Structure 1
Amino acid sequence: MDDDSPRARWERRTELPLAVASLAFLAAYAISVLARDLPGFWQGVCLAVTLAAWALFAVDYAVRWRLDGQRLRFVRTHWLDTLVLVLPLLRPLRMVRVYEAVQRRHGRPRLALHARVMLYAGLSTVLLGFAGALAVYQQEQGAPDATVRTFGDSVWWTCATLATVGYGDVAPVTPVGRLIAVGIMAVGLALLGAVTGTFASWLLQVFAREDDDRPPEG
């Protein structure tokens, strides 16, 4: 039976609006970083959208903290939501939860557990990689001795970092850029481990079913 508590009802009602806010935040942030010659009015619009998205997440976090009644324990048990509130670049992760919300409203999810884990990990990698590339490019463009000179350089570096390859041909030189790089490295290791571990588990289950279905020899 579905949870019918006040907090659960609030989460079901706000999942889609928060996902739209995440998409709007990412779009406004990308425009403000990539469009260097953006008129002042549109720069203000992009800033207003990003601040409005943060305000929505802050209100949602405060309401769920109040409805949950766990006080400080809520912060520990909902650490991802806390990070999303504190670190703006993690807000696009809310868009990944839309699929799960839609599936819950239509009954049992159509994809198996292994497929959902790999799908969520893949989408999270793309969203975080794009947001991380934007953030690094914003910090590195125009910096002295910078090797990340274009957004293409930033995307290439982000892909190499998330894949744990680390060619070293381009790398951030600013303190904030390197701090963002540390976060991308940690995310890359976690997501890569989730995908490879889930895929290996799925293969083991497939081979185990084949062995069970095979007729005994002799």
Structure 2
Amino acid sequence: MSDRPPTPTPSREERWDRRMETPLAVASFLFLAAYAVRVLAHDLPEIWRDFCLALTFGSWAVFVVDYAVRLRFSGLAPWRFVRRHFLDTVVLLLPLLRPLRVVRVYERMQRRHHQPRLTLYARVMAYSGLSVALIGFAGALAVYQAEYGAPGATIRTFGDSLWWTCETLTTVGYGDVTPVTPLGRVIAVGLMTCGLALLGAVTGSFSSWLIQVFTREDEKRPPGGSPGAS
């Protein structure tokens, strides 16, 4: 007879979350792809532009349905659910953050047989790096859409937008290209905040990993074996 405790039965909300991980990731990819085509393909026929717009709103509808179902399954009051699932609420309201749902699928792929394939520090760095890439690309698209054709704009091409996004996320800020529209500046503030948070997570995790490695080396070193010891 096994002494292993019985596996707890997942709740309806947990089962729904597992079932919707892949559809939400696909919806995120479709949203980003449709948005990119609509922004970058200026000569695209109107029928295909309308199709991309429909695909964008269709992917948004998937997020709305998922949010509504999880709210119902939770049994919580709406304001309590929003407080407990604040990030999901932000992702629902801010389209540019929806590609971050891809990170959850990446995390699921790393957890094979209930054990992560990467160490904690490597996972933080990998997830943060993937998040920076997704947010940076989506932010570059949004800034390019807002700045393209604006009077006095210095961001004239998508390449300029990508260059400006890299400057902003890394907090370098050369100032050679800058957004001039109100929407572009609002997006810039968001990218600055995300860049500081995510890159800070990468730097902190890498520093912690180095400290851990050096600590292990010191523990393995025999007494008197440190450099400079007589």
TM-score past 0.5 threshold: yes
Equivalences for 1:1-218 in 2 at 5 Å?
1=7, 4-71=10-77, 72-104=79-111, 106-217=113-224
Task: Tell me, in whole angstroms, the C-alpha distance in 2 between the residues paired with 1:134 and 1:42.
Answer: 18
Task: Tell me, in whole angstroms, the C-alpha distance in 1 between the residues paired with 2:74 and 2:111.
Answer: 21
- Say whether the 8 Å CA contact 1:15–1:101 is kept in structure 2: no
**Structure 1 residues 2 and 161, CA, compared in 2 at 3 Å: closer, same or farther?**
farther
Give the number of equivalent residue pairs. 218
After the TM superposition, list the runs of 4 or more consecutive aligned residues in structure 1 that deviate by more than 4 angstroms: none
Deviations 1:156-186 (A, max 9, x none): 0000000000000000000001000000000
**Structure 1 residues 203 and 105, CA, compared in 2 at 3 Å: closer, same or farther?**
closer
RMSD: 1.3
The alpha carbon displacement at 1:148 in A equals: 0.2
- Give the TM-score taking structure 2 as reference length: 0.92
**Structure 1 residues 3 and 141, CA, compared in 2 at 3 Å: closer, same or farther?**
farther
Q: Gapped runs of 5+ residues in structure 2?
A: 1-6, 226-230
Task: Tell me, in whole angstroms, the C-alpha distance in 2 between the residues paired with 1:117 and 1:3.
Answer: 29
Task: Tell me, in whole angstroms, the C-alpha distance in 1 between the residues paired with 2:76 and 2:98.
Answer: 23
Q: Gapped runs of 5+ residues in structure 1?
A: none
Between Structure 1 and Structure 2, which shows a larger proportion of helix residues?
A: 1
